[in-house]
């Protein structure tokens, strides 16, 4: 029997009917001594994981990009919200993309993003 490439195998499996796929699944389970139920459980758990991400209570705010002519305003905001010194705040802004603050509440993260964006830079928040 000739060995199929991955692409050829995908193409061959794509041409199977649902009944043929079910029979193939059963044959593979018998041959390998496993059950495909674990995959079904993983797929069923995926919506729960998505819901958990959607309900994040802590967020991370990052400065993604800051044009050279907007850096002074961004440095002032970074100093205000982090308590960093002038040199540290300047280094953080110039090293963008860089995490500005982590573990903050949603309202604080949104406010911080708005401040950074109002200064002319790009900022994002990500749920933890």
pLDDT the model gives residue 45: 54
pLDDT at position 47 is 57
> What integer pLDDT is reported at residue 6 of this predicted model?
85
The pLDDT, as a whole number, for residue 101 is 87
**Vertex 84, ends 115 and 95: CA angle to 5°?**
70
Tens-digit pLDDT string for the chain (128 aa): 678 788 888 888 888 888 888 888 888 888 887 776 655 454 455 555 555 445 677 888 889 888 889 889 889 988 988 888 999 989 988 888 888 888 888 888 889 889 888 888 898 888 87
Provide the sign of the torsion angle of the four alpha carbons 25, 2, 17, 39, taken in this order: positive
Task: Give all domains of the chain, ordered by start, each with its CATH number.
Answer: 7-53 (no CATH), 59-127 (3.30.1390.10)
d(CA 82, CA 89): 8
The confidence score (pLDDT) of residue 37 equals 61
**In this predicted structure, what is the pLDDT of residue 5?**
85
């Amino acid at each position: 029997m000739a060995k199929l490439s991955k692409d050829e195998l995908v193409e061959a499996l794509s041409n199977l009917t649902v009944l043929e796929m079910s029979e193939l699944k059963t044959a593979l389970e018998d041959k390998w001594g496993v059950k495909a139920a674990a995959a079904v459980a993983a797929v069923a758990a995926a919506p729960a994981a998505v819901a958990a991400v959607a309900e994040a209570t802590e967020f991370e705010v990052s400065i993604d990009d800051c044009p050279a002519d907007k850096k002074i305003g961004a440095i002032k905001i970074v100093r205000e919200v982090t308590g960093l010194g002038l040199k540290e705040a300047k280094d953080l802004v110039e090293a963008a993309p860089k995490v500005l603050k982590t573990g903050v509440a949603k309202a604080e993260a949104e406010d911080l993003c708005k401040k950074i964006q109002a200064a002319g830079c790009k900022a994002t928040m990500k749920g933890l």
